[in-house]
Structure 1
Amino acid sequence: MTKSPFFLYLIGFVLLLQTTAFSQLKYLKANTQVPAHPRIMLLKGEEKGIQNNIASDKNWATIHQTILAESDKIIGLPPLERIQIGRRLLDKSREALRRIFMLSYAYRITRDQKYLNRAETELLKVSTFSDWNPSHFLDVGEMTMAVAIGYDWLYNDLQKSSLPIIKEAILKKGIEPSLDSKYNSWLAASHNWNQVCNAGMTYGALAIYEDNPTLAKQIIDRAIESIKLPMEDYNPEGAYPEGYGYWGYGTSFNVLFLSAVQKALGSDFGLSNGRGFLNTAAYYQHMVGTSGKTFNYSDAGSGSGGVSPAVFWFANRTQSPSLLFGAKNILEKGASNMGRDRILPAAMIWGNGIKFEKVTAPKALLWSGQGKNPVAMMRSSWTDLFAIYVGLKAGSPAVNHAHMDIGSFVMDALGERWSMDLGMQDYESLESKGVKLWDKGQNAQRWEVYRYNNMAHSTLTFNNELQRVDGYASITNFTNKPTFLSATTDMSAVYKNAVSSAKRGVAIVDQKYVVVKDEITTGEKESTVKWAMMTPAKVRITEDGTAELTQNGKKLQIKVLEPANVTLKTWSAQPTHDYDAPNTGTALVGFEVTLPANSTNILNVLLIPDGIMVSKETKIPSLSDWKK
């Protein structure tokens, strides 16, 4: 169909408006200059500081040797191929970033030609991919960052014939698709996509800055404005809405972005001074329990904590060496999987000047933060491997990557995890079977996935109903006394169809045992409440109605103080849908009680590690008396 002259004029006018608006710079200036290559994160000559660290500290030497060992392994691998899994090329992009970052680092520190040669092979290979899968733009973000680091860091030593091929790929397969509205909705997002994609585009822009200065400045300027959205989500105290796993993703790329613009442009434009952002490394640190396992709420894996390069940036930026206490312990024990971290070389840059001998245990035993997904974590000690740890989850199922886990808790003692979270299920395993995983409505199929609803979490369920997606729970109070570490939350909004009020508190009492206390007020109808705890332990119900949990030769007792005469029971944690992942070796333990209409009810449950005696006459104060 032939388009009218007016229609063509209108389209041209709209495009002109978009181009004009995009060309206006808010943060950079028309004459903004950047250093010569290498300019991303590590300038020419700054290798010396890293080499000094390696020579003076065995922990830095351990990280360095890990990178070299991984680089040697990479040399023996076949180059990456463009093999897409479902709608994602992401695993290839991530592996490209790991390979190219490590090889480029290895070459810059050792000047060994073998690392340069293999990095160049990888750069040329991915540059000839048909595209970097812009329909799932995370793939483009990470691939662009990978190629940009290799191009910038190795610029002066790559074959001259390779440079235009790599540069063209950064521009055509990385930056230009980010200008297409079909692919750049992440610019208006407040979650990890924004952080990852803006970081990747900024690295690409910095890498080819001298060839496309106008476009590069526009891309960087756009990123500085856009990335404010996810950085606002750290307010007020630093809790990251998407949980531990996505903190390691979104926050790491956010720091990669800040580090790059600070180094290349001499400023991070005030972005890191937000109320919550500089506090978020403490949140991340407290998310690892005394068992070594993480508080893996939302779409997080169920593994142990590791060495996060981003924490080195926070430790340096805030002059808080104690943030590296966990990393120091891991390094001294030997971190076998550290080489899988695709941004590990960044730790060597961000930690420059930090002495591990000055890294001591944190002083705070409790951390609490509000925000979109409020949480509280507490422990009886940082140095006692058998210490107690509890994490309490509030928030809302409506948050990105959230589960129906409001009121859920994890609990460690005696070096073991007793109350657990099953964590995420691999997305492709669900998407490949047609599960509509990303719908967040109250009746969405997402909540039929076993691991995602409240029936599979250590929380309450009323009348076998789902928690309310539109509900929200804050951390209403916390106490930071060594003899009574506690936090409370008001969960009423997520149970509004079942009861009038539902409040929960968890506490570590006298550094010896844990209490989980619920105060529930019913409405005009009776309601049946199920108190449940997900556990990896073997459960034995004793003659007096309590539960004895056993794992690895250690024991924990669950005792119900209120209601009286309740007998604990177990339920299977095995799902019924063929798309659900199996939950081998886990079970739910708890009880069910029918609550009369228009009544106020107390549930008092004690979690008592083996060897601790708690009197039957123990009185737990009402939640209103759990005060600072």
Structure 2
Amino acid sequence: MDNNNSLRSSMMTKISFLNIIAFLLLFPFFVWAQVDRVGSARFPDHPRILLLKGEEASINKTVSADKTWGQLNQAILTECDAMLALAPLERIKIGRRLLSTSREGLRRIFYLAFAYRMTHQEKYLKRAEQELLAVSAFSDWNPTHFLDVAEMTMAVSIGYDWLYNDLSAQSRSAIREAILKKGIEPSLDTKFNSWLTVTNNWNQVCNAGIAYGAMAIYEDQPELAKRIINRSIESIVLPMGDYSPNGAYPEGYSYWGYGTSFNVMFISALDKLFGTDFGLSQKPGFLNSAGYMENMTGPTGDAFNYSDSGLTGELQPAMFWFANKLKDPSLLWEERRYLTNPAETKRQVKDRLLPATLLWSNGISMNAIRAPKSTMWVGSGTTPVAMMRTSWTDPAAIYVGFKGGSPGTNHAHMDAGSFVMDADGVRWAMDFGMQSYETLESKGVDLWNKTQNSQRWQVFRYNNYVHNTLTINDSLQRVAGKSEITSSSNTPLFMNATTDLTAVYKGSVAKAKRGIAIMNKDYVVVRDELETLPTATTVRWTMLTSATVTVNGNKAELTKDGKKLTLLVQEPATIVLKTWSTDPPHEYDAPNPGTMRVGFDVTVPANAKTALTVLLIPEKAAKKIATNVQPLDQWPH
């Protein structure tokens, strides 16, 4: 009897322990599923994600009516034909990531499923099914780096849903099991789902990917599917809060292309399923971010690549969704440039979300896309920015991208006050942007520690020494500081913006302000105004460039691609310009061939006020220079 009681007690203890474990495992799930938005909504039959049955007809109409759309559609089909000969993907990690495999999985499956729906050619179905089964057979989708799981879940869910009626029962079973076991279930585990509570791109990508899994297998897991979708709706509002108040995306160009695109993939799928996005698209600033993104590319085609961004501008499928939502075709001016340039096609077909461009095209003709009216865009929020240009249609136009913000923001560098500049089809003032994470992580760099004295800020491309900003007393910018855009004006002959940099130089100066202006549509002014503490202060003014630089006193001549730009220090007039190498100081730093820094050092006395005024003058404006530049508080705003 005692043995039975002991056994029963032991069993009850195990059951209670398992119940506790189950609760802890699902705790975040319940936290994020408190509001039942989906309710008793009836899901459409397959295909139900993004493109319902029969909606291919509208895409075919668009493709037939416009040559450019026809060429894009053909480029996707041609790329699918090239995929037919490829071996199925294998579970190959690079460092801690499976992400490149997941992204290629999304590209292949999205493209092939799209091609089959558009053409009904069996070869695309069979190749997609082969890929779906291959990745479904992986041991896992690498939940320790959950972006990998999210992108693979989206890939497999689109393929499963779009090809559902033509897949064999055996294939459907294997794929459905993978979505559940390798996608959805790991998202319930607290070891893997910290992304539910963050405010960056991880939240957007992971919620979108896992929600696609729920949408795909709804018939088999209806309650779980609804709870997952509810959870995603509740959680994704966290990063969407960072678009407030007016659309500046805190993580920069490339991460807008990542986080916002997956956010739109999620919203668009909700709309298609339920006829509503449950108010997500109306979150403050979200729709305004289309204007931010459009203005983030200069006339050279290079992006304003601050923080961990790439340099080259890219087609952004999500912009077509925004243009439709806002009924503003001018938002597609940059996208039109990419679509109508045949040389861009090879790059476009590497974009895993490219088919969504046709899904969101809404039949718009390239001829209906007109240049934007405004030549300036200013945004506040987590990372304040200002972008200004002299023209949208002149390839030689002057363009300036200027930022405030904080090094403490996700993916940020110590680049508050930095800027880029294009003129005459050349990027004169540049930014290195990101260095591949794997090249740093594999060498043991503590890359994601953002404390003031962390190794992150020793990476050459990440600190203020190599950005187009100030370095004061040879010190790093303050991680805890933030600079705001304090004023701006789109006056055509004096477009300008100013920022207060005092907080990012706390302890080094009493005040620091910077203003940048395009004067008379001819040249650029960069003006800094400083107030020092009761000690003498050394200030370094730096501009990074890929041009050839010849220094002559307070002037430097920059030449590149047969064009010239003069850098003139107007005050202090006694300045002697110099150049510095961009050779990497550490073994882990990326090489920086063909670049240099140009600028000057100045010592400012204790308790003094001083101004630094630099002009960047394209060759054709050499004789149009004003004799003096007004103090910042007199600039129009």
TM-score by length of 1: 0.97
Contact 2:37 2:278 in 1 (8 A): no
Contact 1:22 1:218 in 2 (8 A): no
Match of residue 150 from structure 2:
141
Q: Compared with structure 1, are the counterparts of its residues 218 and 580 closer, same or farther at alpha carbon in structure 2 (3 Å cutoff)?
A: same
Q: Compared with structure 1, are the counterparts of its residues 158 and 8 closer, same or farther at alpha carbon in structure 2 (3 Å cutoff)?
A: closer
The superposition leaves residues 601-622 of structure 1 with CA deviations (integer Å, 9 ceiling, x where unpaired) of: 0000000001213567612111
CA distance in 2, matches of 1:90, 1:591: 43
The superposition leaves residues 43-100 of structure 1 with CA deviations (integer Å, 9 ceiling, x where unpaired) of: 0000000000000001111211111111111111111000111100000000000000
Q: What percentage of residue pairs aligned between the two structures are identical?
A: 57
Aligned-residue offset at 1:21 = 3.8
Q: Is 1:502 aligned to 2:524, yes or no?
A: no
Q: Is 1:340 aligned to 2:347, yes or no?
A: no
Q: Compared with structure 1, are the counterparts of its residues 90 and 14 closer, same or farther at alpha carbon in structure 2 (3 Å cutoff)?
A: closer
Match of residue 554 from structure 1:
563
Q: Compared with structure 1, are the counterparts of its residues 618 and 204 closer, same or farther at alpha carbon in structure 2 (3 Å cutoff)?
A: same
CA distance in 1, matches of 2:462, 2:133: 41
The superposition leaves residues 192-215 of structure 1 with CA deviations (integer Å, 9 ceiling, x where unpaired) of: 000000000010000000110000
Contact 1:27 1:269 in 2 (8 A): no
SS of match in other structure, 1:156: helix
Q: Compared with structure 1, are the counterparts of its residues 172 and 10 closer, same or farther at alpha carbon in structure 2 (3 Å cutoff)?
A: closer
Q: Is 1:526 aligned to 2:533, yes or no?
A: no
Q: Is 1:12 aligned to 2:19, yes or no?
A: yes
Aligned-residue offset at 1:5 = 6.2
Match of residue 369 from structure 1:
379
Match of residue 425 from structure 1:
435
SS of match in other structure, 1:340: coil
SS of match in other structure, 1:450: coil
Q: Compared with structure 1, are the counterparts of its residues 24 and 135 closer, same or farther at alpha carbon in structure 2 (3 Å cutoff)?
A: closer
Q: Is 1:411 aligned to 2:414, yes or no?
A: no
Q: Is 1:80 aligned to 2:99, yes or no?
A: no
Match of residue 326 from structure 2:
318
Aligned-residue offset at 1:27 = 3.5
Aligned-residue offset at 1:299 = 0.3
SS of match in other structure, 1:307: coil
Contact 1:59 1:328 in 2 (8 A): no
Structure 2 letter corresponding to 1:133:
N
Of the three residues 245, 251, 263, the one matched with 1:242 is 251
Q: Is 1:330 aligned to 2:338, yes or no?
A: yes
Aligned-residue offset at 1:9 = 3.7
Of the three residues 298, 303, 307, the one matched with 2:307 is 298
Structure 2 unaligned segments of length 5 or more: list them. Answer: 1-8
Question: Aligned runs of 1:44-83 on 2, under 5 Å?
Answer: 44-83=53-92
Question: Aligned runs of 1:93-172 on 2, under 5 Å?
Answer: 93-172=102-181
Q: Compared with structure 1, are the counterparts of its residues 6 and 345 closer, same or farther at alpha carbon in structure 2 (3 Å cutoff)?
A: same
The superposition leaves residues 162-181 of structure 1 with CA deviations (integer Å, 9 ceiling, x where unpaired) of: 00000000000000000000
Contact 2:509 2:532 in 1 (8 A): yes
Q: Compared with structure 1, are the counterparts of its residues 4 and 324 closer, same or farther at alpha carbon in structure 2 (3 Å cutoff)?
A: same
Question: Aligned runs of 1:477-492 on 2, under 5 Å?
Answer: 477-492=487-502
Between 328-337 and 318-327, report the one with greater CA deviation: 328-337
Q: Compared with structure 1, are the counterparts of its residues 352 and 433 closer, same or farther at alpha carbon in structure 2 (3 Å cutoff)?
A: same
Between 61-70 and 85-94, report the one with greater CA deviation: 61-70
Aligned-residue offset at 1:25 = 5.1
Match of residue 51 from structure 2:
42
Match of residue 599 from structure 1:
608
CA distance in 1, matches of 2:633, 2:601: 25
Cα root mean square deviation, aligned: 1.6
Aligned-residue offset at 1:13 = 5.4
Aligned-residue offset at 1:406 = 0.4
Of the three residues 217, 221, 231, the one matched with 1:212 is 221
Contact 2:32 2:235 in 1 (8 A): no
Q: Compared with structure 1, are the counterparts of its residues 93 and 492 closer, same or farther at alpha carbon in structure 2 (3 Å cutoff)?
A: same
Deviating 4+ runs (over 6 angstroms): 2-8
CA distance in 2, matches of 1:616, 1:29: 62
CA distance in 1, matches of 2:525, 2:489: 14
Question: Aligned runs of 1:345-364 on 2, under 5 Å?
Answer: 345-364=355-374
Contact 1:316 1:354 in 2 (8 A): no
CA distance in 1, matches of 2:197, 2:122: 43
Between 144-153 and 261-270, report the one with greater CA deviation: 261-270
Contact 2:32 2:234 in 1 (8 A): no
CA distance in 1, matches of 2:421, 2:625: 22
CA distance in 2, matches of 1:376, 1:295: 11
SS of match in other structure, 1:177: helix
Q: Compared with structure 1, are the counterparts of its residues 29 and 278 closer, same or farther at alpha carbon in structure 2 (3 Å cutoff)?
A: closer
CA distance in 2, matches of 1:22, 1:407: 40
Number of residue pairs the alignment of both structures matches: 625
Q: Compared with structure 1, are the counterparts of its residues 319 and 611 closer, same or farther at alpha carbon in structure 2 (3 Å cutoff)?
A: same
CA distance in 2, matches of 1:209, 1:222: 15
SS of match in other structure, 2:620: coil
CA distance in 2, matches of 1:554, 1:13: 70
Of the three residues 385, 389, 396, the one matched with 2:399 is 389
CA distance in 2, matches of 1:30, 1:614: 69
Contact 1:199 1:254 in 2 (8 A): yes
SS of match in other structure, 1:624: helix
CA distance in 1, matches of 2:575, 2:152: 56
Structure 1 letter corresponding to 2:42:
Q
Structure 2 letter corresponding to 1:538:
T
Aligned-residue offset at 1:312 = 0.5
Contact 2:47 2:163 in 1 (8 A): yes
Q: Compared with structure 1, are the counterparts of its residues 427 and 24 closer, same or farther at alpha carbon in structure 2 (3 Å cutoff)?
A: closer
Match of residue 564 from structure 1:
573
The superposition leaves residues 545-594 of structure 1 with CA deviations (integer Å, 9 ceiling, x where unpaired) of: 31000001100000011001111110001111000000100000000000
Structure 1 unaligned segments of length 5 or more: list them. Answer: none
Contact 2:554 2:573 in 1 (8 A): no
Aligned-residue offset at 1:353 = 2.5
Of the three residues 503, 508, 525, the one matched with 1:515 is 525
CA distance in 1, matches of 2:58, 2:13: 62
SS of match in other structure, 1:306: coil
SS of match in other structure, 2:80: helix
The superposition leaves residues 269-302 of structure 1 with CA deviations (integer Å, 9 ceiling, x where unpaired) of: 0010012000101100100011110000000012
CA distance in 1, matches of 2:394, 2:332: 17
